[in-house]
């Protein structure tokens, strides 16, 4: 079954149409090797396309490693951003209580 999803990362009303789009074609139960497997990450000025070809055994191994590394870095980045925004929020709350 094919997978296609696009999610806007900012509200459209902000005028900065950043998004992430994922495309994974159906391999027809493993018989079709030439499908598109890619991630597109865009902000208002730039767009990057990451391809994950599955055309050979080696390409599939590389695609698996690539998507695993990508997911790990994004998840670690998310955890770090959340930690930092909580620290900033706590510091701001403490500052406003003092005044």
Residue ranges of the domains in the chain? 1-55, 56-99
| CB 41 within 8 Å of CB 20 | yes
CA distance 7 to 13: 15
- pLDDT tens digits, one per residue of 67-78: 999 999 999 999
pLDDT tens per residue across span 4-55 = 999 999 887 887 789 999 999 999 999 999 999 999 999 988 999 999 999 9
Per-residue buried b or exposed e for 48-85, using 16+ beta carbons within 10 Å of the residue's own CB: eeeebbbeeeeeeeebeeeeeeeeeeeeeeeeeeeeee
């Amino acid at each position: 079954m094919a997978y296609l999803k696009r999610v806007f990362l900012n509200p459209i009303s902000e005028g900065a149409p950043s998004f992430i789009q994922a495309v994974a074609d159906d391999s027809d139960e493993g018989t079709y090797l030439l499908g598109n497997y890619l991630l597109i990450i865009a902000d208002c000025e730039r767009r990057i396309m990451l391809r994950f070809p599955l055309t050979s055994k080696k390409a599939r191994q590389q695609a698996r490693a690539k998507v695993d590394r990508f997911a790990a870095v994004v998840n670690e980045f998310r955890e770090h951003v959340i930690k930092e925004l909580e620290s900033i929020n706590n510091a701001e709350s403490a500052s406003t209580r003092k005044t």
